[in-house]
């Protein structure tokens, strides 16, 4: 199993975000993933940096981390522009960019900001055309395409990517699973749907499995009372997101056993979202978990 740091780029300065990315790199994380919203869900007044720009800044200040998102909202960017942005970041990072993409987890913001249709059918139709467009444009060949949302007329997009850019798609709906099977290298299943992993796995083709996991790291020397206080604070902070297995708490040894169980079920990547906002000490100590499962 490999670990990517999930780091929503909110409530932090850009230097603090870069510091966490560098600390994650030193701790042995394979990558980092950002969020993509116009305002933070549940905290609309909190500061939030734009996703692709932040990814570019992190790529420029790290050496080994894979840079990506969990996930970009398809409606926010025209597919042709997204194709060009992804290739640019691929070249700038020496092939360290991955594209995580979905059809929007907070449809209400599409309406509030006037950036896209909130209708599920329209959103998944548009994502389907986006993925087809990316495949064509990334080929480096002269291509044409006509869909309801995208039109290409004898165009070529250069440069081509330095490598096939890996794609991550999350979700468990029938049409989403079909897109995963056709286009994705990684399938991110919601942690609350893990009980369906074995049933759904045959429907995603060759895509590898990833999950996002809220993590509360507990110091080895913490007393029972201190453990309870730390866990209670995390549950208050993240509320319902920690339900249905979304939040796991433990020492390095306990977390190693938890993730070893996921790996045994075929999960090959975890996006770790730390409830203390990825403090440097936490990332350094989590290196023990990463090394144990490498």
Angle 207-127-209 from CA coordinates, rounded to 5°: 20
| Residue 290, domain member (yes or no) | no
| Residue 254, domain member (yes or no) | no
| Residue 164, domain member (yes or no) | yes
CB neighbour list of residue 195: distance below 8 Å, 6 or more residues apart: none
Q: What pLDDT score was predicted for residue 245?
A: 76
Q: What is the CATH number of the domain that holds 133?
A: 3.20.20.30
| Residue 249, domain member (yes or no) | no
pLDDT below 50 — which residues of the chain? none
Q: Answer whether the bond into residue 71 is a cis peptide, omega within 30°.
A: yes
Q: Which H helix or E strand runs over 258?
A: helix 252-264
Q: What pLDDT score was predicted for residue 155?
A: 98
Alpha helices in 14-159 (DSSP H): 14-27, 51-60, 79-92, 107-113, 120-137
| Residue 34, domain member (yes or no) | yes
Q: What pLDDT score was predicted for residue 116?
A: 87
| Residue 188, domain member (yes or no) | yes
Q: What is the pLDDT of residues 237-260, one digit of tens each?
A: 887 777 777 899 999 999 999 999
- Domain ranges, residue 42: 2-208
Q: What pLDDT score was predicted for residue 138?
A: 98
Q: What pLDDT score was predicted for residue 247?
A: 93
How far from chain centre, in Å, is Cα 166?
Answer: 12
Q: What pLDDT score was predicted for residue 137?
A: 98
What is the helix, strand, coil percentage profile of the chain, to 5? Answer: 45, 20, 35
The number of beta carbons lying within 10 Å of the beta carbon of residue 198 is 10
| Residue 199, domain member (yes or no) | yes
| Residue 98, domain member (yes or no) | yes
How many domains does one find in the chain?
Answer: 1
Q: What pLDDT score was predicted for residue 239?
A: 76
Q: What is the pLDDT of residues 189-203, one digit of tens each?
A: 999 999 999 999 999
Q: What pLDDT score was predicted for residue 258?
A: 97
């Amino acid at each position: 199993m490999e670990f990517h740091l999930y780091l929503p780029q909110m409530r932090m300065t850009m230097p603090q975000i870069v510091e966490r990315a560098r600390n994650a790199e030193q701790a042995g994380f394979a990558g980092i993933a950002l969020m993509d919203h116009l305002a933070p869900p549940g905290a609309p007044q909190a500061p939030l940096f734009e996703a692709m720009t932040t990814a570019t800044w992190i790529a420029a200040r790290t050496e080994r981390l894979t840079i990506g998102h969990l996930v970009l909202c398809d409606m926010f960017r025209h597919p042709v522009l997204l194709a060009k942005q992804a290739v640019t970041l691929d070249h700038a990072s020496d092939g360290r960019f991955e594209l995580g993409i979905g059809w929007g987890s907070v449809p209400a913001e599409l309406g509030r900001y006037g950036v896209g249709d909130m209708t599920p059918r329209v959103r998944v139709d548009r994502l389907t055309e986006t993925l087809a467009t990316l495949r064509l444009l990334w080929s480096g060949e002269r291509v044409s395409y006509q869909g309801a949302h995208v039109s290409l007329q004898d165009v070529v997009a250069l440069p081509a990517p330095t490598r096939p850019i890996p794609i991550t798609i999350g979700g468990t709906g029938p049409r989403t699973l079909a897109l995963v099977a056709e286009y994705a290298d990684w399938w991110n299943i919601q942690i609350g749907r893990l009980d369906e992993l074995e049933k759904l796995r045959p429907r995603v083709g060759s895509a590898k499995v990833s999950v996002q996991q809220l993590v509360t790291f507990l110091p080895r020397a913490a007393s029972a009372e201190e453990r309870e206080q730390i866990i209670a604070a995390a549950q208050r902070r993240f509320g319902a997101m920690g339900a249905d297995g979304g939040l796991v708490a433990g020492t390095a040894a306990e977390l190693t056993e938890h993730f070893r169980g996921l790996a045994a079920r075929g999960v090959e990547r975890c996006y770790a979202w730390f409830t203390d906002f990825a403090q440097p000490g936490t990332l350094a100590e989590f290196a023990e978990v990463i090394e144990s499962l490498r």
